[in-house]
Amino acid sequence: AQKITQTQPGMFVQEKEAVTLDCTYDTSDPSYGLFWYKQPSSGEMIFLIYQGSYDQQNATEGRYSLNFQKARKSANLVISASQLGDSAMYFCAMREGLLGQGGSEKLVFGKGMKLTVNP
Amino acid sequence: DSGVTQTPKHLITATGQRVTLRCSPRSGDLSVYWYQQSLDQGLQFLIQYYNGEERAKGNILERFSAQQFPDLHSELNLSSLELGDSALYFCASSVAGTSGETQYFGPGTRLLVL
């Protein structure tokens, strides 16, 4: 089974509108971390936001917030007030387990989804 | 700018050849990770080094090897190259590999094997 599922291959949004990018994950480990990265056409991977499985509140970083629904195993990224520069590929990733207790430090990535922001 | 540097940015070579990709982590980061991004496999973890020692191995081919030097920079060596090795190779770094730690990625090396 896929660890990280991003089912939306592509999305279009109007500038200044909010958009939600979906991510579901699969793990039996109670300790894990979820990450979102942005990859513009230039190719670099840019860290956006992190959510730990034990975090009580949803993570926020500026215009980015993470809608974390643990029971549903979803970690959707919400971008408020989209900008043209938000057009890029977006990847959801997970790290499982507690480090030092058999957990892994590697990130497992979803296939990504392409966001296009229209003026 | 993540603070992670990778050289070269682009590399074009022929099948059967050997190449070395170089990565310098962010200042103070002890962990270095290598990932491969290809169209068919997506982003895959290859290998991790922590303070000079191999810490974790992923889907890394036997033709590939890596090392981390005392100054903490890392090199990924790819040998007997095949067409399918064409990909974007990322290096990422983090401070010490504690839970919840973010990996910061370099700009990548785009390898084309002809």
pLDDT digits (tens, 9 = 90+) for B81-103: 999 999 999 999 987 655 568 89
Q: Any alpha helices (H) in chain A, and if so which ranges?
A: none
Interface membership of A58 toward B (CB under 8 Å): no
Is B104's pLDDT higher than 90? yes
pLDDT for the residue numbered A30: 87
Predicted pLDDT of residue B11: 97
Closest CA–CA distance from residue B75 to any residue of chain A (Å): 18
Cβ count near A2 (within 10 Å)? 11
Instruction: Output A7 or B75, whichever has higher pLDDT.
Output: B75
pLDDT score of A72 more than 90? yes
High-pLDDT (> 90) share of chain B, %: 77
pLDDT at B8 over 60: yes
Q: What share of chain A is helix, strand, coil (3-state, %, to 5)?
A: 5, 50, 50
* Identity of the amino acid at B91: C
Report the residue from A47, A91, A106 with minimal CB separation from B102: A47
Residues B24 and B4: beta-carbon distance below 8 Å? yes
Of A37, A42, A50, the CB nearest to B100: A50
Q: Hey, which residues 7-46 in chain A have their CB within 8 Å of chain B?
A: 31, 33, 35, 37, 42-46
pLDDT score of B98: 58
pLDDT at A100: 60
Q: Which residue of A has its CA nearest to B55?
A: A105
- At A16-52, the pLDDT tens digits run 999 999 999 999 888 889 999 999 999 999 999 999 9
Kindly report the nearest CA distance between residue A91 and chain B, in angstroms: 9
The chain-wide mean pLDDT, for chain B, equals 93
Return the residue of A nearest to B110 by Cα: A43
Q: Which of A14, A9, A19 is nearest to A89 (CA)?
A: A9
| pLDDT of residue A93 exceeding 80 | yes
The reported pLDDT for the residue numbered A59 is 95
**């900008």: which residue's tokens?**
A83
Indicate the pLDDT class of residue A64, thresholds 50, 70 and 90. very high
Give the CA radius of gyration of chain B.
13
Q: Could you tell me the sign of the dihedral formed by the alpha carbons of A94, A96, A100, A105, in that order?
A: negative
Q: Determine the average pLDDT of the residues in A67-85.
A: 96
Instruction: Residue B100: list chain A partners with CB under 8 A.
Output: 33, 50, 52
* Residue A98 contacts B, CB cutoff 8 Å: yes
For every residue of B4-62, DSSP letters joined together read -EEE-SEEEE-TT--EEEEEEPPTT--EEEEEEEETTTEEEEEEEEETTEEEEE-S--T
Mean pLDDT in residue range B107-112: 97
- State the Cα–Cα distance between residues B44 and B23, nearest whole angstrom: 17
pLDDT of A1 over the 70 cut: no
